Amino acid sequence: MLNHLTYSAVRSMSSLAPLTQTLRWSKPLCGKLQRTQSVYGSVSNLRRAQSSLSQQCAARTSSTLFGKNLRPLSACAVDKYTSSSRKFSTTSCKAQAQASTSKPAEATLPRGVDRVPLDLKVGQKLHGFTVTSIEPVDEFSLTAYILTHDVTGAQYLHADCDDTNNSFNVCFRTVPDDSTGVAHILEHTVLCGSEKYPVRDPFFNMLKRSLNTFMNAMTAPDYTMYPFSTRNAADYYNLLSVYLDAAFFPKLSLVDFRQEGHRLEFEEPEDPNSKLMFKGVVFNEMKGAMSSIGSRFSGALSKELYPSTTYHHNSGGDPVDIPSLTHEDLKAFHSTHYHPSNALFYSYGDLPLAETLEKVNSWALSKFDKLDVSHLEVPDELRFDEPRKFQVLGPTDAMVNDPEKRSTVAVAWLLNNIATDPVEVFALQIAGDLLINGPNAPLYKALIEPNIGSGYAPGTGYAPYRREAAFGVGLKGVKDDDVEMIEKTILETMDKVAVEGFEKELVEANIHQVELMVREVSPSFGLDLGFSVMPVWMHGGSPLDQLRVGETIAELRKKCEEEPTFWQDLIKRSFLENKHRITVHMQPDDEFNTKLEVSEAELLAEMQSKLSEETKKQLVTEALELAEDQNKIPDVDSLPTLSVADIPSELERTISTQSEVEGVPIQWNDQATNGITYFNALYDLSSLPVHLHPYLPLFCSLWTQLGVNEMDYREASQAIKSSTGGFSADIIDTTDMNDLDSFTQAFMINGQCLDRNLEKMFELLSALTTPAGPAPFNPSATPVGIRWHSEPDRLATLLNRRSAGLNASVAQSGLSYAAMHAASGLSPEALAANEQDGLPHVNFVQRLVSPEAEIELMPAGAVPVALTEIANHLFGGGAQQLLRCRVAAQGSSFETVEKHLGSWLKESKAHEGKSPLITPDTKPFIPELKKTFFSVPSQCNYVAQTFRTVPYTHADSPALMILGSALSTCYLHREIREKGGAYGGGCSANTWGGRFTFNSYRDPNSVETLDVYRNAAEWAASEGSFSERDLSESLLRVFSSIDSPVAPSDRGLALFMSGRTDEVRQQYREKVLGVQLSDVKDVAEKYLVEGKDNASVAIVGNEEKVPVTHGEDGWEVLGANLKPREE
């Protein structure tokens, strides 16, 4: 809601996450372009598109109090990934703690369940701090300690538990009074060197000298945080030292400000007669961020809803305003905001609190006195006397379904102070979910189902992220003439809810989802907890309120029982009687981004015309000074580091038990899942006819959305929400580990529930996996299986929303689309991934929702017929399509699981042969090299170049993995980000898919970046390019990813999906650890230099600055619609 904090990497979050930190301006972890396929076979649908950039350009997604994945790893097995995506194995926490360190002192440090419990009392003094509160939190198996620093007044929260994945976070209230991006640019610049570590960019250098499980820095609208996590004790204190020194004692040099923030520079830096330009990492980052409808509209909502406070401004920075920021402004902002008296400290895990406090005090806080920071407190917004309306202009999407329906409108209210009443926050979160989410929600019925627009507007939902929360709802993809009607519909629906309230069953279903989410075990719990407490804590509330989930739920239930009209009164008080309401209508301007570019060019031209010769010389001198600084070989000896000896030689193994139930292979993973059972089933797609493949992503997304058997879609939605954590479906692509031209594709269904609901979950699963019966559709027959044919309006609604979401994703997810397209001609797996998740799928769905294709959605139309054929092939074919199943749960529930699983399997087997077999057709793979520029409405570019390499078992595969890490950090980071000004850039080896990809993200350059890639390859292949230290650091960085912790629900999943055993993974691990410098040089020469003519290129970029011509030098210039661009 309201353009609050957003990570660059996106993962869908439940709306029940009131404190979800989607932090907007985070430093990119460059050099990791990854897809899930690189580990165990790729997961289709949204997972493919979302995961590809997760380490390239952003932080990992966080979660919160009532959101998903909020429970600590207790004394349980710690699993591993095996490559740059997800990795799996298992051992005890204690064994991991001992294995992950090499220093004798650390090896004897009791860890996990064997740690020495804290023995503190309220009022006790400890290294300059006083304990002010101690509270056991049984729901999360931890004890919370709140302390205050005696001198500075800094607040400190420690969550003590047996989780070995320790985390730390220091957070400052940062309240800009303009949109110059001062807080955001400061967040970048403090990480460019400090007093103790006067190294060029210690943050990025530490990425490769650490076994961290998370490192980043993030800017929110009113605070900036610096979090990290790691399981290695020495690493924890290393990172703590670097982070504290960066935050409190940064260099903040002018040269770093000019690199990270903004600068004036000639296009040819040494030629004052060449064009004058604005450059800078944040400047270009924000150009990309602000190119989309979503960011512009959310920004407009925030600006108008909060007219007098810091939220009126863009904390990330508006590219129009960023050049106004001066270096002196930056330093002044640091001096007033980055002080211990304005800081909140957080730590979590099993390491001794005393040692952390001693280091925090001696390394930082002891050097400060107390400072009055009361002027930095955010005041309450001045409330409106009457609702207000605003009309703004904004950009357009790269693709539009209906040219007459391109406007966006939303109504938003300013609501409660988030720090005063946790029960009200929770109640409004539940109310927000009940109002908008799912087919039973009143606003969903009123706005989405009539297909007035293409989906909810950006900013829809309840957002308790600022001092005062907000709620917004609206539609995108609407006609201008419908705006007033939409506003009226929203207000009338609220009136109706204020009279009728919500059904008790719907409320309880939502609370059931909260219980599931709280129980779910996450390896990133420590980080998530730190993220979740910050907004309330920052504004004077107790961070412990965010942990008292059970008490909050009980209090809400009590209120509902004592006050029969509780929900009606809440809606009336919060919305109907609330005059602080705005309506924002954004109209599309096809020239929006172009006008910004023209305005910028005119400004620069005017500035250049007025430059004196002395100023020109100064700009040239400054450019040369920056280039000299960027080209220096950094002396990183002052930075702490781990060594290769800290990398465990043995992987952590997962114990998987194999059996058969009703003749079907079952994999059992006995894990501490906290009373939740996770279930997976894998179906063979090898014989599915090719003409049905484009419909597979739709089948995955629609599988549970249309109703089933006698239940319509509303009833089915309620049944699923009331008794399970939901069902999902994915497409799994697994390349043969010995042959890149051979891959298998499978359909995987996933479900989860509390153990008490096992019978109901399998009953629902039985209905969902019932064959739909033969085509053609008989309208008089009782529905059987998924109601593919009997819900044409619902089908149209879902497809419209999917198409709108895909259209909007083209510009913002440009690197995903570019990388998929570049790889698509190199292997059959990559081709399938692109066709089912890339731009071909975007266009396929858009065609289905076009007026000409309306008949295809009718009961006997092509879409329901195709989806029915897929269902019948999977669930009722003559051959056995169900390959195997997997259960992850606590062993004590296995007997009950097997009982209900057996019943489901009996029913499934009874369906075999009831549907006629479809004659399979085939389509041979034809390799094809590509050079494509996709022109889209964006102010920046995404540049991908992909080489075909070798299978997983090939001797060169481990060296290619190390090459990707080494080349990213030793060359590409400097050339693409620091010099080129892109937000992120690097390269990575997809070892499972047999590809090597260069990539840049939010890049002001396009084809020029291809020259950087070529030079990088030649540099890597040259003698002496990498040092032994570079090799060691690359190994640390690779294994930081390989050995990341994994949730109990996912342990053993790699074996289940791909068949890759621990023995295979251990062999590969040993080969990676054995890579030599000569191996890295050799693979660079072999695959990137000698193989330079065997690479494909794709650029998704600025339509106003297309640097190539269609048909020349092998280039295609296409629109997002895959048609040649019109000049």
Residue 1011, classed as helix, strand or coil, is: helix
Per DSSP (E only), the strands in 685-773 are 727-736, 739-754
Residue 690, classed as helix, strand or coil, is: helix
Which structure tokens are listed for 302? 């925030």
Kindly report the number of other CB atoms within 10 A of residue 610's CB atom.
8
State the greatest distance between any 2 C-alpha atoms of the chain, in Å, as a whole number. Answer: 86
**Residues in contact with 125: Cβ distance below 8 Å, sequence separation at least 6, in sequence order:** 150
Q: How far apart are alpha carbons 685 and 731 in whole angstroms?
A: 9
Kindly report the number of other CB atoms within 10 A of residue 1114's CB atom.
11
Residue 320 φ/ψ, nearest 5 degrees: -70, -35
Name the nearest CA neighbour of 145 among 355, 156, 115: 156
Per DSSP (E only), the strands in 10-91 are 25-26, 42-43, 79-80
Q: How far apart are alpha carbons 972 and 820 in whole angstroms?
A: 21
Per DSSP (E only), the strands in 1020-1087 are 1045-1046
Q: Which of the residues 106, 139, 187, 355 is marked catalytic?
A: 187
Over the Cα atoms of the chain, what is R_g? 28
β-pairing verdict for 676-684 and 739-754: antiparallel
Per-residue DSSP letters for 777-823?
A: P-TTSPP-SB-TTT-HHHHHHHHHHHHHHHHHHHHHTHHHHHHHHHH
Name the nearest CA neighbour of 15 among 413, 431, 414: 431
H or E element in which residue 475 lies: strand 468-478
How far is C-alpha 1120 from the geometric centre of its chain's CA atoms?
Answer: 23
Q: How far apart are alpha carbons 348 and 497 in whole angstroms?
A: 42
Q: Hey, what long-range contacts does 633-638 have (CB within 8 A, 24 or more apart)?
A: 634/199, 634/200, 634/201, 634/205, 635/199, 636/199, 636/202, 636/205, 636/209, 638/196, 638/197, 638/198, 638/199
Give me the count of residues in the chain. Answer: 1127
Looking up tokens 């929360």, which residue turns up?
Answer: 469
**Residues in contact with 317: Cβ distance below 8 Å, sequence separation at least 6, in sequence order:** 25, 179, 180, 181, 182, 184, 185, 282, 283, 286, 325
Which structure tokens are listed for 509? 């279903």
Name the nearest CA neighbour of 963 among 1001, 1015, 1020, 903: 1020
Q: How far apart are alpha carbons 48 and 777 in whole angstroms?
A: 33
Residue 351, classed as helix, strand or coil, is: coil
Residue 157, classed as helix, strand or coil, is: strand
Q: 187 catalytic, yes or no?
A: yes
**Residues in contact with 385: Cβ distance below 8 Å, sequence separation at least 6, in sequence order:** 579
Residue 663, classed as helix, strand or coil, is: coil
Q: How far apart are alpha carbons 378 and 68 in whole angstroms?
A: 29
CA distance to 271, 684, 828, 997, 1012, per residue, from 975 (Å): 20, 45, 33, 16, 7
Residue 571, classed as helix, strand or coil, is: helix
Q: How far apart are alpha carbons 943 and 932 in whole angstroms?
A: 10
Residue 548, classed as helix, strand or coil, is: coil
Contact yes or no for 988/31 (Cβ under 8 A) = yes
**Residues in contact with 715: Cβ distance below 8 Å, sequence separation at least 6, in sequence order:** 707
Catalytic residue annotation = 187
